[in-house]
Amino acid sequence: MKFTANSENFCRLSALLSLAMVAALAGCASSTHRAPVEDRKAPVAVDVPASAPAAEAPKTPLPGSENAGKPGYYTIRPGDTLIRIGLDNGQNWRDIARWNGIENPNLIEVGQVLRIAAPGADATPVATPRPVAPAGRVENRSLEAAAAPAGAAAQATAASAAAVPAAVAPPAPPAAAPSTETEDSLNWAWPAAGPVATGFDEARSKGLAITGKAGDPVLAAADGRVVYAGSGLRGYGNLVIVKHNNTYLTAYAHNQTLLVKEDQAVRRGQKIAEMGSSDAERVQLHFEIRRQGKPIDPARLLPPR
């Protein structure tokens, strides 16, 4: 009987344990994890495409833009400097800076429009004069063509003289108009004594290359005033620019030494520099004559050697 009681107790205990385990498993099954719920009411961020254009602030017009394209004005291009603009337009770069209120010549912008003619001056381009034959050169046709009309005129005069009374004298020829000095009547001289190695080519050299030895004198080709003396123009080395009048200026490049300063008056034949090879492959003088800023062949104006 004792064994039987123990067996019953054991069975009861096992049953209780089984019920406890079933209850525990049921509790675990009822406490499963819930997935997170997305709140649809929350604001959703919207990605802006990277290519969407941003609102641009209105651009401020560059100085002088209202004068673009007008005579007497120039629109700055990439690589321009006031020295280059002055040379290409036959002006003193300091005058251009003053006319446009520029205090720092290094602070100019591409697209900016500059006045390049003096206020009140006529900015209409001047026509380039036709080449003038060198002194002493006479065209053959001038003598031959004049001979025939002269003979015919003589015959006509003789025929009419018989019909006209001797008392009537032929009218006197009109008096020649007095000659006046013009912008083109400069007394030119060669700027160096050496031979010309390279002639004028408007597309490439824009002037003459005159060879010599380092230190040879470089002379002013005509009376004028120095408007630039320095090395700020790429490709020209140590450069002197002389303005002779409102039409002409000359440029002397590749010098080894400059002997004049800006705003200095010079005379024809005055030594203004010494020949060198600055910014060049050999010792030479690069010489330009510019009319209204446009390069012309110096050989047309320089006297024969």
Residue-range domain boundaries for the chain: 65-115, 196-300
End-to-end CA distance of the chain: 158
User: Residue 295 and residue 301: Cα distance in Å, rounded?
Assistant: 12
Using an 8 Å Cβ cutoff, are 233 and 83 in contact? yes
Q: Is residue 76 pLDDT above 50, yes or no?
A: yes
Out of 3.40.50.2300, 2.70.70.10, 2.60.40.10, 3.40.50.12160, which CATH number does the structure's domain 196-300 have?
A: 2.70.70.10
Choose among 60, 61, 62, 75: nearest CA to 115.
Answer: 75
Fold of 65-115: Membrane-bound Lytic Murein Transglycosylase D; Chain A (3.10.350)
Sequence-distant (≥ 6) Cβ neighbours of residue 62 within 8 angstroms: 109, 111, 112, 113
Indicate the pTM of the whole model: 0.63
Whole-number pLDDT of residue 54: 61
Q: Look at residue 47 and tell me whether its pLDDT is greater than 60.
A: no
- Which tops the pLDDT comparison, 55 or 246? 246
Pairing of strands 248-258, 271-275: antiparallel
What band does 166 get if pLDDT is binned at 50, 70 and 90?
very low
Q: Please give the pLDDT value at position 21.
A: 62
Can you give the three-state secondary structure of 114-180, one letter per residue? EECCCCCCCCCCCCCCCCCCCCCCCCHHHHHHHHHHHHHHHHHHHHHHHHCCCCCCCCCCCCCCCCC
Does residue 192 register a pLDDT over 70? Answer: yes
pLDDT (mean) for 282-297: 97
Indicate if the pLDDT at residue 196 is higher than 60: yes
The answer, yes or no, to whether residue 91 has pLDDT greater than 90, is yes
User: Average pLDDT, whole number, for the chain?
Assistant: 76
C-alpha to C-alpha distance for 101 and 105, rounded to whole angstroms: 10
pLDDT tens for residues 8-30?
Answer: 665 566 666 666 565 555 554 44
Distance CA 224, CA 202 (A): 24
Answer for the pair 189, 302: CB distance below 8 angstroms, yes or no.
yes
